């Protein structure tokens, strides 16, 4: 019973990742799915549902890789003015 | 101090305060040769620095003395860092040393060594403090100059290796007096933004002076305090600055820093394929297992079905009945068989004997038939009797002429008289008998 509930929670999470997860999250979910399939504790039904999720997420990952384009943005920083509070006096010796 | 007579103690205290309030005297480097060094029982080290002209009393307290790799020895040429103060009991001023280096280094190098030692003693460079760099950061912060090759190289590496990332540049000058403040501000801005999961602080190669801002205490402390892991990529492979020691990961160059923050997309694609293949294999296995299990279950079900149970029970019952029939009656049955067999044998023997008798009887009967006088008579012979008494006549001597004779044939009797007699052998046709 507990397994079933936790799997339901996972499905919810996976659905979220499938919709708007990062690549890393997606890959993590994919690996989690493989891990669960590997454990062999799932019912056939759940195995198939997990697998379906896996296929969808893998497809999304592939798409992300295919369409990946480095995003670059710049942060507005107050460009430091020359230091004035740190005068180094020439020592007399 | 108004004009008045003062005590020695007051004067000495005044001089001490005067010396201690001087900025230069409270933080200075002095170079000279060591003379007359000795270690007190307390662990403090007392020695004198001197050159051709002057001498300076120095004291190195136990705590600092313990940190030295080499204890001060007479004749050593050293640079000592510390502050000037007055030892009031003796009325002498002396250098309270906190750091000792072999002489010959420039002031910058000495300062750097001093700072390194201070920061190290505070634990800023502890390996245990290093945080892992995220494997696949969604956002990578970069602190470097917006101009120049470094920023370009970093973008190039990330675009090639890991275009999934978002790169956030916090531009700052990385050279000159304003650089430390700029670097600290850029680090802060990236943390305030909150998105970067790792920050690269980078600068291209240059002279030791060009890279000096990365030895700045403010920069080092800012990196130490940074909430996300920092990768340093300053100068070339051979350049080492304090930021390299405090950073969570030190890369030999800016490009290397970018690489260390980014998985290769080729590896990612390969991993994706691996994971998918694994998932395919597993679901295949699962389905095969399920099919097998189903097959086993249905055959088990068949075995366990009530129909089978009834069939099996029935077979068992029949078997039981069989053995019931067979086992208790075994001796009776065999005896019965033995009796039957003996009876059969007996009857066969009887039969044999009977048929043998019958056979001999038949033979006897046949012989009897042959001996039947009737049959002889039927073949044409006759039985001749004579006289009233019907005595058999077998020879001519048994009768006389005129004797009455009776001839018995198969179908009746002829009565007559002997007319004549003639002796004759049997060869020939026999007695000639008159039939009248």
Cβ of residue B140 closer than 8 Å to a chain A Cβ: no
Over 60: is that where the pLDDT of B40 sits? yes
How many alpha carbons fall within 13 Å on the CB side of residue B303?
6
Q: What is the pLDDT of residue B328?
A: 55
Q: What is the pLDDT of residue B115?
A: 93
Task: Tell me the C-alpha distance between B18 and B22, whole Å.
Answer: 7
Over 80: is that where the pLDDT of B96 sits? yes
Asked whether B282 and A34 are in contact (CB, 8 A), the reply is yes
Tell me the helix, strand and coil percentages in chain B, rounded to 5.
45, 20, 30
Over 80: is that where the pLDDT of A15 sits? yes
Structure tokens at A36: 């669960």
Asked if A91's CB is within 8 angstroms of B24's CB, the reply is yes
Asked whether B240 and B109 are in contact (CB, 8 A), the reply is no
Provide DSSP, B51-107: -SS-EEEEEE-HHHHHH-SS---TT-EEEEEEEEEEETTTTEEEEEEEEEEETT--H
Q: What is the pLDDT of residue A93?
A: 52
pLDDT above 90 coverage of chain A, percent = 4
**Confidence band for B431, pLDDT divided at 50, 70 and 90:** very low
DSSP β-ladder status, B28-39 and B77-87: antiparallel
Asked whether B230 and B254 are in contact (CB, 8 A), the reply is no
Who has greater pLDDT, B410 or B59?
A: B59
Closest Cβ–Cβ partner in A48, A68, A86 for B164: A68
The alpha carbon of residue B51 is apart from the nearest alpha carbon of chain A, in Å, by 15
Cβ of residue A30 closer than 8 Å to a chain B Cβ: yes
Q: What is the pLDDT of residue A88?
A: 46
**Confidence band for B203, pLDDT divided at 50, 70 and 90:** very high
ipTM computed for the complex: 0.74
Asked if B170's CB is within 8 angstroms of A80's CB, the reply is no
The alpha carbon of residue A15 is apart from the nearest alpha carbon of chain B, in Å, by 18
Calculate mean pLDDT across residues B14-35.
94
Q: What is the pLDDT of residue B195?
A: 95
Q: Mean pLDDT, chain B, as a whole number?
A: 87
Of A2-6, B56-60, B191-195, the least confident: A2-6
CA of B194: which chain A residue's CA is closest?
Answer: A75
Q: Which residues of A touch B275 (CB under 8 A)?
A: 27, 30-31, 34, 58
**Confidence band for B435, pLDDT divided at 50, 70 and 90:** very low
Asked if A65's CB is within 8 angstroms of B164's CB, the reply is yes
Task: Tell me the C-alpha distance between B61 and B96, whole Å.
Answer: 8
Of B13-22, B142-151, B361-370, the least confident: B361-370
Beta-carbon contacts of residue B296 (< 8 Å; ≥ 6 apart) = none
Asked whether B225 and B242 are in contact (CB, 8 A), the reply is no
Who has greater pLDDT, B328 or B43?
A: B43
**Confidence band for B30, pLDDT divided at 50, 70 and 90:** very high
Over 80: is that where the pLDDT of B315 sits? yes
Cβ of residue B275 closer than 8 Å to a chain A Cβ: yes
Q: What is the pLDDT of residue A87?
A: 44
Tell me the per-residue pLDDT of B221-254, one tens digit each, with 9 for 90 and over: 999 999 999 999 999 988 889 999 999 999 999 9
Cβ of residue B136 closer than 8 Å to a chain A Cβ: yes
Q: What is the pLDDT of residue A11?
A: 87
Asked if A77's CB is within 8 angstroms of B185's CB, the reply is yes
Q: Return the DSSP state at B179.
A: H
Q: Which among B69, B84, B70 has a CA at the least distance from the CA of B29?
A: B84
Q: What is the pLDDT of residue B126?
A: 94
Task: Tell me the C-alpha distance between B170 and A77, whole Å.
Answer: 6
Cβ of residue A5 closer than 8 Å to a chain B Cβ: no
Q: What is the pLDDT of residue B265?
A: 87
Chain-centroid distance, C-alpha B357: 96
Calculate mean pLDDT across residues B79-83.
93
Of A79-83, B262-266, B396-400, the least confident: A79-83
Asked if B181's CB is within 8 angstroms of A79's CB, the reply is no
Task: Tell me the C-alpha distance between B240 and B219, whole Å.
Answer: 14
């Amino acid at each position: 019973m507990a397994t079933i509930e936790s799997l339901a929670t996972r499905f919810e999470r996976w659905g979220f990742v499938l919709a708007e997860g990062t690549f890393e999250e997606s890959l993590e979910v994919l690996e989690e799915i493989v891990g669960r399939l590997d454990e062999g504790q799932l019912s056939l039904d759940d195995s198939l549902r997990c697998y379906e999720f896996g296929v969808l997420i893998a497809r999304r990952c592939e798409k992300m890789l295919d369409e990946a384009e480095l995003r670059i943005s710049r942060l507005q920083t107050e460009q430091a003015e020359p230091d004035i509070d740190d005068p180094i006096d020439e020592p007399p010796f | 101090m108004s004009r008045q007579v003062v005590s020695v103690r007051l004067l000495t205290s005044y001089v001490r305060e005067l010396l201690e309030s001087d900025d230069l005297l409270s933080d200075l480097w002095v170079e000279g040769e060591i003379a007359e060094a000795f270690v007190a029982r307390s662990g403090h080290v007392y020695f004198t620095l001197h050159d051709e002209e002057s001498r300076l009393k120095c004291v190195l307290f136990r705590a600092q003395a313990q940190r030295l790799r080499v204890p001060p020895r007479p004749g050593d040429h050293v640079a000592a860092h510390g502050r000037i103060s007055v030892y009031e009991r003796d009325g002498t001023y002396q250098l309270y040393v906190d750091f000792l280096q072999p002489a010959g280094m420039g002031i910058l190098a000495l300062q750097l060594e001093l700072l390194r030692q201070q920061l190290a003693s505070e634990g800023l460079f502890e390996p245990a403090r290093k945080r892992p760099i995220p494997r696949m950061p969604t956002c990578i912060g970069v602190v470097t100059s917006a101009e120049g090759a470094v920023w370009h190289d970093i973008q190039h590496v990330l675009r090639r290796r890991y275009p999934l990332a978002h790169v956030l540049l916090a531009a700052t000058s990385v050279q000159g007096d304003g650089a430390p403040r700029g670097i600290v501000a850029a680090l802060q801005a990236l943390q305030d933004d909150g998105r970067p999961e790792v920050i690269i602080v980078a600068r291209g190669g240059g002279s030791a002076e060009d890279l000096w801002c990365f030895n700045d205490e403010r920069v080092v402390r800012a990196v130490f305090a940074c909430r996300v892991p920092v990768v340093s990529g300053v100068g070339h492979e051979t350049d080492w600055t304090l930021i390299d020691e405090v950073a969570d990961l030190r890369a030999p160059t800016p490009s290397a820093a970018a690489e260390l923050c980014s998985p290769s997309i080729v590896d990612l694609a390969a991993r994706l394929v691996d994971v998918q293949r694994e998932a395919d294999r597993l679901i295949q296995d699962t389905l095969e297992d399920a099919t097998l299990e189903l097959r086993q279950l249905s055959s088990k079900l068949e075995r366990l079905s009530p129909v089978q149970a009834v069939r099996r029970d029935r077979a068992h019952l029949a078997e039981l009945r069989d053995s019931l029939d067979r086992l208790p009656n075994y001796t009776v049955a065999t005896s019965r068989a033995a009796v039957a067999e003996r009876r059969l044998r007996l009857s066969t023997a009887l039969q044999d004997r009977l048929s043998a008798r019958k056979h001999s009887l038949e033979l006897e009967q046949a012989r009897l038939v042959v001996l039947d006088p009737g049959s002889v008579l039927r073949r044409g012979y006759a039985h001749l009797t004579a006289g009233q008494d019907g005595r058999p006549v077998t020879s001519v001597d048994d009768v006389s002429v005129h004797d009455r004779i009776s001839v018995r044939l198969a179908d009746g009797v002829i009565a007559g008289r002997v007319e004549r007699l003639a002796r004759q052998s049997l060869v020939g046709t026999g007695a000639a008998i008159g039939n009248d």
